[in-house]
Amino acid sequence: MKTAIIAALQQALAPEQVLLDEAVAERSHHIWRMDTPLTAIAVVLPRTTEDVSAILRICHEHDQPIVVHGGMTNMVGSTETQSDELVISMEKMNQMEELDEKSRTITVQAGVILENIQIAAKEQGLLFPLNFGAKGSAQIGGAISTNAGGMRVLKYGMTRNLILGLEVVQADGTIINSLKKIIKDNSGFDLKQLFIGSEGTLGIVTRAVLKLAEVPASRNSAYVAFNEYDKVVAFLKHLDAGLAGTLSCFELLWQNAYRGLTSPPAQVKPPLPYDYQYYVLLETLGSEQEADRKRLEQLLEEALEQELILDATLAHNASDLDWFFKIREDVHTLVSLCRNDQHFDISLPIPSIGKVINNILEKLHTLPLLEKAFAFGHMADGNIHFIIGKTEESAALIKAINDIVYTPLQALDGSISAEHGIGLHKKKYLHLCRTPAEIQLMQLLKKSLDPKGILNRSKVIDL
């Protein structure tokens, strides 16, 4: 069967679009695992939606399981492969097809790098607000497939809030084209929502129409320090109420994460001393630079007087803005401090974050093989990340850490995944945040759209 599939792919595509043997082994399944050779029967490189359709028709006919590769920045094993699987890499579908200034949209292929979209929009005085640390390598198709979040969810929402139109290829090769530029469309089911966040298990995203915004005329930022989590919550309310909708980012760092991100080998210095338990990075996007800065200064002064905050420093120029955000974005610095890293992106109610996360950290540090545990995240939307370092990668230790982090979430109606998805690594914990009826409905959708189970096989749910 393998020979027949490869022959069919070679007939449908150009020779350089089908990689075999050594060319496959030269690749990897994750951007942080570049020294691990990729295992697959082949890697195919579609250039067009029609190429993707042809590939899936062949795979559907031969019951050939596939794994989709984008920027390979996922955290949940979504791009891991087995030797009998075919990899479809979207890297050649990297064209920005149209930037429509009047409708404030950009139409892109799935393999376009997120940062390139941001740059193209900015050159036209527009903003694509999706923003996270892996923006320089993450592809927009992967961001759509996982419904990525990032640091500006508070103001602009998740990826699904930025999608107007979508083109998807189904498991049998059928192309679903709904590349519309309109915001309102209640003509039946909103089918694109099925595919946003489904991690490539229901169809492969090939093109998208993205919603842009005007570039804000002002941008201000600050780091703020606290010793009590309840005051972090009170300060968020104080700030959001006083900024009239211009608060765009509110990121929380626990002390050791802040220290790790601003100490060697990190290339940036700390904007505030290491004297506090919590640090917040905030950003405002508005219309008048000086007026907006003065308003933020006033709110910070009021917070100091009310003893909501203990210390604060503002960004004074563009260089400071880059410095402040580099601290938060460069989480690979924390990864470099861990011999064996394990990642989490949980979601829970904002009032519960302080107590629950601190309890989790205490329990983690009782594990004899655990070395480090860093907590940080998008606190204003209830999303906290962990990066955990440990002395070994044993299944028993991974399970012990997972149990400590995930178990408290069920009672809180939280989520084991705020933005990274489920993939392979979280599948066995899905029941903690989804009811049996919800999981059965997911399985029904999977069976209906991919009856042979070839799309990202074994990811998210089992049939």
Q: Which CATH architecture has domain 338-420+432-444?
A: 2-Layer Sandwich (3.30)
Q: Which residues contact 337 (CB under 8 A, 6 or more apart)?
A: 260, 372, 389
Check whether 31 has a pLDDT greater than 80. no
Domain boundaries, the chain: 2-92, 96-214, 218-329, 338-420+432-444
| Tens digits of residue pLDDT in 347-364 | 999 999 999 999 999 999
CATH class label, 96-214? alpha beta
218-329 and 2-92 share a CATH fold? no
CA distance 125 to 108: 18
What percent of the chain is modeled with pLDDT above 90?
92
DSSP state of 419: S
Check whether 8 has a pLDDT greater than 80. yes
Which CATH code of 3.30.43.10, 3.40.50.720, 3.40.50.300, 1.20.140.10 fits the domain covering 2-92? Answer: 3.30.43.10
| Tens digits of residue pLDDT in 272-285 | 999 999 999 999 99
Q: What residues pair up with 108 in beta bridges, in sequence order?
A: 96, 208
Which CATH code of 3.30.70.2190, 3.40.1350.10, 3.40.50.720, 3.40.50.10580 fits the domain covering 218-329? Answer: 3.30.70.2190
User: Which of 24-33, 165-174, 332-341, 379-388 has the lowest average pLDDT?
Assistant: 24-33
Closest residue by Cα to residue 8 from 47, 38, 39, 42: 42
Instruction: Return the HEC string of 102-135.
Output: CCCEEEEECCCEHHHHHHHHHHCCEECCCECCCC
Residue 104 structure tokens: 């404030």
In this prediction the pTM is 0.93
pLDDT of residue 1: 63
pLDDT band at 6 (very low <50, low <70, confident <90, very high): very high
* Mean confidence (pLDDT) of the chain: 95
What secondary structure does DSSP assign to 50-71, as a single string? HHHHHHHHHHHHTT--EEEESS
CA distance 246 to 428: 40
